């Protein structure tokens, strides 16, 4: 599953620096440098993707 930055429309790559906002939306740090909204997390895309498993799952798991 590919995830695209909603601002520049570019697919995220492993070493892109990204931010995760309070709505669980990912975008590039460089695309948001002038937007001081609350940020939930930030770092390399590959790290964020690992930390937040929902990015790599396209279907909810059964409980």
In contact, 26 and 3? CB cutoff 8 Å = yes
Which C-beta is closer to Zn ion: that of 6 or that of 56? Answer: 6
CB of 62 to Zn ion, least distance (A): 34
- The residues that bridge with 39 in the sheet, in sequence order, are 21
CB of 8 to Zn ion, least distance (A): 3
Which C-beta is closer to Zn ion: that of 35 or that of 57? Answer: 35
CB of 31 to Zn ion, least distance (A): 4
Q: Three-class SS of residue 52?
A: coil
Q: Can you give the binding site for Zn ion, defined by CB under 5 A? A: 5, 7-8, 28, 31
**Strand runs labelled E in 1-63:** 17-21, 26-28, 39-44
């Amino acid at each position: 599953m590919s995830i695209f930055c909603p601002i520049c429309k570019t697919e995220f790559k492993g070493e892109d620096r990204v931010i995760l906002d309070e709505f669980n939306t990912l975008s590039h740090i460089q695309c948001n440098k002038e937007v001081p909204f609350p940020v939930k997390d930030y770092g390399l895309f590959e790290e964020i993707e690992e930390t937040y498993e929902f990015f790599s799952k396209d279907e909810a798991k059964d409980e």
